[in-house]
Amino acid sequence: MAKRINELPRHDRPREKIHSKGAGALSDEELVAILLGSGIKGHDVMTVAGRIVRLVDDHHGRPALADLQRLEGVGPAKAALVSAALEFARRRIRPERIKIKTPIDVLPLIRHYKDRKQEHFLCLSLNGANEVITTRVVSIGLVNKTQVHPREVFADPITDRASAVILAHNHPSGDLTPSKEDIALTRQLKEAGETLGIAVLDHIIFGRKSHYSFLEHGCL
């Protein structure tokens, strides 16, 4: 269970940490906690931030304002603040300028999922020049062929008019060895992509300190 804000050493609290280490060193929950400023009575800010991050993931980065307001510990003012911050980021950040040449180029776009306690299956849409169009969370939970179906993976890349995709998911255990399910799913999605005319360029399994690339290991 995550520690409450008042249980953290002062140097590990989000506001102090961002000054000493920079925003890039903070987890998603810590960044949201800074936006919130404080919790409301009976709700620790880190706990509320965690709820918001889970909701954002569940809604592929676009939660409705009403959904934010329904979260325990989030009132209209904080919901409006988070919604505005997400929209501002979407208008300013242009990931499609990032060109993917090697698996390492993908890591900055997905590294903030490395600390998640559940597996997050991600799909990056790429154009014909291997430039990133967008990154989406396809599913949260155990990665298998039941939860991660080709129709869920390719629905948005088709809308994006993507030429290719890169798949990725985190292993909370830290063991980056592909499971039998990972291998079978990768094969299934590659075959589905060939049918749709969307190439699966790689499947990356990542953790806190390292990554495993199906492409680098000759498994695609």
pLDDT string in tens for the chain (220-residue length): 456 666 677 777 888 888 888 888 888 888 898 888 876 677 788 888 889 988 888 887 788 999 999 998 888 889 999 999 988 877 666 554 688 988 889 988 888 888 888 889 999 999 999 999 888 889 887 665 547 889 999 999 999 999 999 999 999 888 899 999 999 999 999 999 999 999 999 999 999 889 999 999 998 8
Q: What angle do CA 112, 117, 122 make, to 5 degrees?
A: 50
Domain boundaries along the sequence of the chain:
5-92, 96-213
pLDDT confidence of residue 92: 63
Question: Which two three-digit tokens encode residue 9?
Answer: 């050493």
State how far the Cα of 32 lies from the Cα of 63, in Å rounded to an integer.
14
pLDDT confidence of residue 8: 73
Taking each helix axis from N to C end, the angle separating 76-92 and 28-36, rounded to the nearest 10 degrees, works out to 120
Which CATH number describes the domain made up of 96-213? 3.40.140.10
pLDDT confidence of residue 151: 92
